[in-house]
Amino acid sequence: MKITIGSRKSKLAMWQTYYVQKKLIKAGLETDIITMETKGDKILNTSIAKIGSKGVFTEELEDQLASGAIDIAVHSAKDMPSILPDHFTLIAFTDRERSEDVLLSHNPGLNIDDPKENITLGTSSVRRRALLKLHYPHIQTIDIRGNLQTRVKKMKEGLCDGIMLAYAGVHRMEMDSMIIKTFPRDQFIPPVGQGCVAIEASTSLAPERRKAIRACLNNPESEACLLAERAFLRQLEGGCSIPAFALAVLDQNIVTLTGGLVSLDGKKNITSTRIGPSTHAESLGRDLGAFILESGGKELLTRIRQQQGSS
């Protein structure tokens, strides 16, 4: 059986693709890789929030899935919309890397904890900007797009003093030596799916292919956590353009899910936690999402979308 894998062309996307390919080959499956650029790769002078979060990094790959040109698409789970288009589904979630946000800088002496310092950090994340305003109101932020190598180059050229990124991508690109701070997860709760690779397929994928792929790629612990997190985000009808966050942790089949929503100016933060068996992972996410909406989140989301539309 040969599995054709679709991927974006960036170095990080290819790391993830080769990681998946090795697991498939180890299981005795033949593989082929097809690469392409997505809308999110091509439009680098506009923030993700303004492009629109639906399909920014997935649409072109889904066209290939629909045509049968590829069997699976490899994604960073955090890039996936909370609601997939009809006829597509996530069939596997890989082992999860550490999910923290980290700060990279070419200046090892950079101290963001000193309110007297005039510091500018680069990030393309609405969530990170909002949480920085909450916890580090003295820091300025600037939108920075492109792959990890491009962002580091822009930083070194003077665009900003440091850049906020996911630990997983930094580690996979072997840039750990540039990390000067790891943000605690209780302050900077990650976005849904951070650190995990998601495998997307068409619902028409042959059952025997789906079964073979899941058998060697899917991590049941990751799946339980991601089902809870994605159900939460789906309840909020959100994607990467809103400052929502959620992290599920599994311990002895018990899921602890913490998530919420923060205003763009960081002044309002609605966060809560749900705990329950992994068999109820999705219902935990839905329950948490409903609570956040009922606790002021609905009005906050309306205001966020109005602000994004007018900016």
Task: Give the confidence band of 37 by pLDDT, cuts at 50, 70, 90.
Answer: confident
The reply to whether 8 belongs to the active site is no
The reply to whether 234 belongs to the active site is no
Residue 74 belongs to what domain range?
1-95+197-218
Point out the catalytic residue in the list 145, 210, 230, 234: 145
d(C-alpha 18, C-alpha 293), whole Å: 39
Half-sphere exposure of 37 (CA within 13 A, CB side): 8
Nearest to 226 by CA among 71, 119, 75, 113: 75
pLDDT in tens, 156-213: 999 999 999 999 999 999 999 999 999 999 999 999 999 999 999 999 999 999 999 9
Task: Give the confidence band of 310 by pLDDT, cuts at 50, 70, 90.
Answer: low
Together in a domain, 288 and 178: no
Together in a domain, 123 and 210: no
d(C-alpha 203, C-alpha 171), whole Å: 33
Task: Give the confidence band of 75 by pLDDT, cuts at 50, 70, 90.
Answer: very high
Point out the catalytic residue in the list 71, 230, 240, 287: 240
Point out the catalytic residue in the list 8, 78, 129, 210: 78
Say how many domains are in the chain.
3
The reply to whether 78 belongs to the active site is yes
> Using an 8 Å Cβ cutoff, are 182 and 100 in contact?
yes
Global confidence as pTM:
0.90
Together in a domain, 81 and 114: no
pLDDT in tens, 208-262: 999 999 999 999 999 999 999 999 999 998 767 899 999 999 999 999 999 999 9
Point out the catalytic residue in the list 79, 101, 161, 287: 79
Report pLDDT for 43: 41
Point out the catalytic residue in the list 151, 210, 234, 274: 151
Q: Is residue 188 part of a domain?
A: no
pLDDT in tens, 17-36: 999 999 999 999 999 999 98
Q: Is residue 300 part of a domain?
A: yes
The reply to whether 274 belongs to the active site is no
Q: Is residue 112 part of a domain?
A: yes
Point out the catalytic residue in the list 41, 71, 96, 127: 127
Together in a domain, 91 and 105: no
d(C-alpha 131, C-alpha 243), whole Å: 8
The reply to whether 151 belongs to the active site is yes
The reply to whether 265 belongs to the active site is no
pLDDT in tens, 50-71: 445 545 568 889 999 999 999 9
The reply to whether 127 belongs to the active site is yes
Name the packing angle between helices 220-235 and 281-292 (round to 10°): 30
Together in a domain, 89 and 107: no
Indicate the residue type of 54. K
